Amino acid sequence: MAGPVPIGGRLRRVPVDRLRRYGTSYAMLLPFLALFAAFLLWPLANSLYLSFTSFDGVNPAVFTGLDNFAELAGDARFRHALGNTALYVVASVVLGTLLSLGLALAFNGPSWPHRIMRTLFFLPSVTSSIALMLMWKWVLFPSEAGLANTIVHWLGGSTVPWLATPSLTIPILVLMSVWGGMGYGMVLYVAGLGSIPEEYYEAARIDGASTWQRFRHITLPLLRPVTTYVVVTGLIGAFQVFEAVYIVFRGTNNIGGVLDSALMIVPYLYDQGFTHFKLGYASAIAWVLFLIIFVLSLVNLRVGRAMKEL
């Protein structure tokens, strides 16, 4: 009869056993790990270091401590970009989530018309964002050649300078974002709706619950995980808006368009890093953006969890 295995012996044997058991799997993961480390972890660590330097892209980086972050605090253009981005994020995430849910409720059936509608609304999500932005630029072209102005002319109006009117910039950016993203949210909500047991609705109907009450007390609470996911991914995507500004609104010498009305954080980061040689400063902006997104995502997850416990 074998005696008890000493604890130290077990500790020594466990890694060997694990290696024997999972060695092949770990070996197969190694190429990915190498790529992950080379193209994500190392650049991330490097960019964190650069955020504390005055690196210009050509000369050696010079350590400047918190100077970049102090400069950011007093940078009026950065604050302007932050304000624009906040407005854009709130509007596009709220509208995008609501419309995604609305579309999912409208087209969640198995019939062909519903499938066709879901496919149509999902199409922008699988189309190149560059192609979509070029299409929007054509739609908003400031003469009769642009689709939007053609419609305005049919209605008897005169040409609208869509891209040169600062008050229209954020609404246009939100429209482009919501139009391009609501199909993706819709598909997630359709999947969420499909996972709600029909019995809940039947029981509620028997108890005399109205359509609104069934939606309010069954559908919405059970869709909370999907909503959290849609909102968090929407937040991350919206904070990182770039193509729409760069392709549609950028001026000859100003990435933020007329009066910086389209200036967002990532385009500003790109402008500072790649046209003004301030790569250390751009890295600092990137880390501030990372922290903002990280904190907001945490808050969102916490709120979602708290509401579940209610």
Partner 1 sequence: MAACSTILVAALSTACATSGQTRTEQADQNAPMTLSFWSTGGDDETATFQKAADLYHQKHPNVTVKVQTLSWDDAYAKLLAAATSRTGPDILSGGMTWTIQFGARGAMVDLRKHGIDALKGQAQPAQWESAVSPDGSVYGVPLDMSTLALYYRTDLLDKAGIDAPPKTWEELVKDIGTLKAAGVKKPYSQDWGNLDWIGYFNYLYQAGGAFYTADCKPSLDTPQAEQALTYWVDLYREHGAPTATVEGSDALDTGTAMVVAGNWIAKGLDTNKPKLKGKWAMAPLPAGPAGPTTFIGGRAIGVTSYSKYAQTGADFVKFMYTDEAIAAVADEARKRNISYIPPRPDKIVGGSTFTPEQAQVFAQAIGTGKAAPGCPGWDESASDVAKQLQSAILGKTDAKTALAEAAKVMQRNAG
Which one among 18, 276, 305, 308 touches partner 1, defined by CB under 8 A? Answer: 276
Which one among 145, 155, 206, 306 touches partner 1, defined by CB under 8 A? Answer: 145
- Asked if residue 61 binds partner 1 (CB under 8 A), the reply is yes
Which sign does the torsion angle of CA 157, 158, 159, 162 carry?
negative
In this structure, which long-range contacts are made by residues 218-224, counting pairs with CB atoms below 8 Å and at least 24 apart in sequence?
A: 219/105, 219/193, 222/192, 222/195, 222/196, 223/101, 223/189, 223/192, 223/193, 223/196, 224/304, 224/307, 224/308
- Mask for 291-310, x = binds partner 1 (CB under 8 A): --xx----------------
Q: 186-197: b or e for each residue (b if 16 or more CB lie within 10 Å)?
A: bbbbbebbeeee
Binding to partner 1 in span 157-176, by CB under 8 A? 159, 161-166
Which one among 134, 240, 301, 304 touches partner 1, defined by CB under 8 A? Answer: 240
Taking alpha carbons only, the member of 192, 194, 218, 193 closest to residue 204 is 218
Name the packing angle between helices 224-239 and 279-309 (round to 10°): 170
Least separation in angstroms between CB 223 and partner 1: 22
From 26-34, 41-49, 91-99, 110-118, span contacting partner 1 (CB under 8 A): 41-49
Distance CA(303)–CA(310), nearest Å, equals: 11
Which one among 179, 215, 277, 304 touches partner 1, defined by CB under 8 A? Answer: 277
Which lies closer to partner 1 via its Cβ, residue 166 or residue 194? 166
Residues in contact with partner 1 by the rule CB under 8 A: 39-40, 42-44, 46-47, 50, 55-61, 141-145, 159, 161-166, 233, 236-237, 239-240, 251-256, 258-260, 266, 269-270, 273-277, 279, 282-283, 285-287, 289-290, 293-294
